[in-house]
Chain A
Amino acid sequence: MGAEAVTSSQGTVDRKKDEQRGKNLSVGSIIDRVSWLANLIASVLILMVALAVCYESGKRYFFNAPTEWVMSLSMLAFTWFPFLSAAYGIKTNRHIACDVFISRAAPRTRALLGVATDLTALLYILGLGVYGYKEFLDAYGLGAMSSGTLRYPLWIVRVIFPIGMLLCLLQMLRKIGLRITTLYDGRLEKNAGAARSAKLMLALYLVNLAVAVWVLSVNMPVGIMVMTLTILLWGVPIAFGLGAVGVFGLLFFHGSISGLYTIPIVAEKTVSHFVLLAIPLFSLGGVILGKSGLGERIYDLSAKWLAWLPGGLGVATCITGGILAAMIGSSTAVTAIVTLVAMKPLLDRGYSKTMVIGTVTGTSLGLIIPPSIGFIVYGFLTDTSVGALFMAGFIPGAMLVAMFSVYVIVTCIITGKYEKMHFSWPQRLRSLKSSFLILLGPIFVLGSIYSGLATPTEAGAILVIYSLFCAIVYKQMTVKDFVDCLMESSAISTMILMIMIGALTMANVVTLLQVPSNLAELIVSAELSTFSLIVILIVFYMILGMFLDGGSITVLTVPVLAPMLSSLGIDTVVFGVVLMMLIETALLTPPVGLNLFTVQGIVDEPLITIIKSTLPFVAILLFATVLCLVFPKLSLWLPSLLMNY
């Protein structure tokens, strides 16, 4: 405990020092400013795309006159987006890493290991940059054109690979430089023991990496697995780490450095998918709504109408979570808002701390209730209609809200730890009036998808415009807040997109090695019962969920599992819903559980208290997962009713 306190205070000192140094060091601060500016440009591009896409859907719907330029230019902006903003992610440490083990090490060890893991990440950054540059030259020389109605030279797309990776390279070198100066500036423990253990850990990492390379040369599939574990568990940022595994795999499989051409091909494939444009759009809309006070209003509304029930405020919290999830595409964002708005009123009304923490943490259904960034990624990976997935998530999501609510009511009746409240009808109607505008949000967004007026991507654009409208009407946002929203949401989306590109590079090698088809044959030939299959799946995802975030889990496992779903007798859409439930569960399980960390960051309770409080909700989620696997109709009924899925 004491050691951790030292660590964290040292961390703060580090950061302050770094900031100062950033101001003094001219080259470094220029790099920082360029990254900041590039990220701002990236997010403004997305904002403009949102406006253009809305204009396009309106023009098509009302005047039956689609434009030729909107789709093409939006796609161009989107291909530039993650590469412009990736370096800012490095600067602000947004690229998540699996650092459960590393974070426990002493500062000197962390700094030294950080240099090594950053250099590992650079392997991939260089691979994408250099071979992206070659692809750019190729397109330029051949005069290759893009596809689509409005065609432009392909080199305009590819030129962003070397530019973006150059920015990442500079930012990474700056980070490494800062780590090295930290090592030598004498603030760290000076004793010989600390220095020795730092060097020992570094040697361990290098030996581990060497062993992984050796295994790769003996047996590639096993080697890929060993290398993935090595690189992730030693704390290389996931996006670049998976890419680095891909680099090693491609080199070994093709037996030549020209195997790295796959990296820019995969990157281009990923960012030229229209449906993925929905990720930055939903993310921007969600961040703006969160900052314009929607959480408070929705909570006020549900509380006024439900507080008369036993455990009514708890139920109101569950409902608030559900309504927010119907506008926000990520789970962690919903959890953060619910915790901020519902925590205090619940504690004030005598609800037990366990119940309160459990409810605010557990009611995160952002990925199951549409819109969902998870479904967008899954739909892209499995070539499934994102619209169908969105519809499929609705009933299971509503079912979970109901199950959570029943649990809250029953527990509150048993423990008696709650306080009923009564509000008059004028009060209720006033709360309805004040949140009416926000309630229209899900109706607009989901309605436009369900009625077929808009594709999920266009719905994302509608959400952005709608959130801007709410922000203006409720007057809760300053210009600075707005810029923060832009910067934050683009950093979040880029992190997801970069993880996808890295993981897909690795997935290319895994496919070359025929791992999915061999695995499927193995499982099918083992003739497991449906029940044992379900158990294996759940255990498998629970284990992954202990160490990885939802996005990484999806991109790592779906390309391997999706091809075998049909032989296992599981529908692709149903599996998508089940996967989102398992990921929501993973977000609630230690040691890596983003939602746990989010709540801990707000309530300042020990992690163990939060984990214990959340357990009943984890159990309900797992129960619902089994229900969805056993009764596919729960997911499939709505898509089959509305869109002939």
Chain B
Amino acid sequence: MDNPIKTVNFTGGYPEKVVLKDLELKLPKGQLSALIGPNGSGKSTFVKYLVKDLKPLPYTLYLENKDITEIKQNENATLISTVNQTNHLPEGFSVFEIVQMGQYNQRINDKNKVLKALKLTHTLKFQNQMINSLSIGQQQMVLLARSICQNTDTIVLDEPFNNLDINHTQLLLKILRDLIKNENKTIFCIMHDLNLVLSYFDYCFLLSKNGKIYCQGKPEETITPESIKSVYNTTVNFIINPGTSKKVIIV
């Protein structure tokens, strides 16, 4: 089986503290997957490993079946692109210039591809505006466009729906769906909003507090009163959303 991201007996964290332990994760190709789990379970730490900000032990983390410790930074950026949670966006750059940075890994300067990425994320109209003049939701779309410009098969987004209003949330979901359908992308999101995962995602991994995968599979099978009780240590109820016929959590 072809997995864009695969971990084998993966352990990760910081000198002071091990955050992720014995992680066995195989990301399904061509799907919209989510990594969920309580605060501090190591979700964002995992993203740091994916961009080589932190260095894992050899033979524990693979991108496209290559050991990440043997992948150079630039090659890494051609296998996987990420949209980070905390983004420091510098003053004085236009939206176009920010998206163009995504082509650094390919050493190209292709205006048409930048424009295409802007179009896919519905941000073409902002191309000449300053990045800092945009709302957070719009900035999020621009950063996704930059990821698209990197031309990787896999895109990882760290809590992309944070700070988005309903309109932008639906827009982002539609864009991600289109990317999977039309561009053959694999998309992996770190998520907090379990209802979005239940309603719109294909697959999910539920991390427990001690940094192990508690369970994984289709969201409606993974996110259950029992697993929530066990991982988040809280009791929730489910109802069926009449619009989508999917389960929804009532807190």
A and B associate in one complex: no
Enumerate chain A interface residues (CB-CB to B < 8 A): none
Enumerate chain B interface residues (CB-CB to A < 8 A): none
